Amino acid sequence: MWTAATIAGTNMQLSRVVLMGVFLMLMIAGLTLERFYGWKLILRKIMVKDPLARKLLRFCICSDWTKAIGIMVFAPLIVIGVLLSFCQQQVRKHTQVLGPAEKARLVSKPVGEMLRGLVAWNWTSVLRKVIVLGSAYLLVFVMGFQV
């Protein structure tokens, strides 16, 4: 994003406004749906009644494109979360009485399960899509700011 803005010759304020606006709209839409229906009811209706919505939801959850978008957006937060979990686990080892299995862990149990899930991904495909999406984002913002 910053590279696209600097190449286009604009300041970062405009790209930040666009990014925050998109994020805010997605958050408002998600929160509105959740407040009206609740996640369990929404997912139950989708999974039981509508096969097209079921396929769309499965694509949104399991697609390498979705994973690539998640990596592009949340990679710094994932790294910070893993580091915080590592620190938390080290503090727990020294301040609490833990079993041998729990002492052997480097990170907490939920983060360890998340990392095991990440290891199972097809990283070649996901990172290839990250490159495609990043290049497209760069081109769209550069071309959009040039015109």
The reported pTM is 0.59
DSSP per position, 8-36 = HT--HHHHHHHHHHHHHHHHHHHHHHHHH
Q: Nearest-5° angle of CA 64, CA 3, CA 14?
A: 100
Give the highest mean pLDDT range of 13-17, 121-125, 133-137.
Answer: 121-125
pLDDT tens for 58-117 read: 777 778 888 888 888 888 888 999 999 999 988 988 888 878 888 888 888 888 888 898
pLDDT at 1 over 50: no
**In angstroms, rounded to a whole number, what is the distance separating the alpha carbons of residues 28 and 98?**
42
Average predicted confidence (pLDDT) for the chain: 79
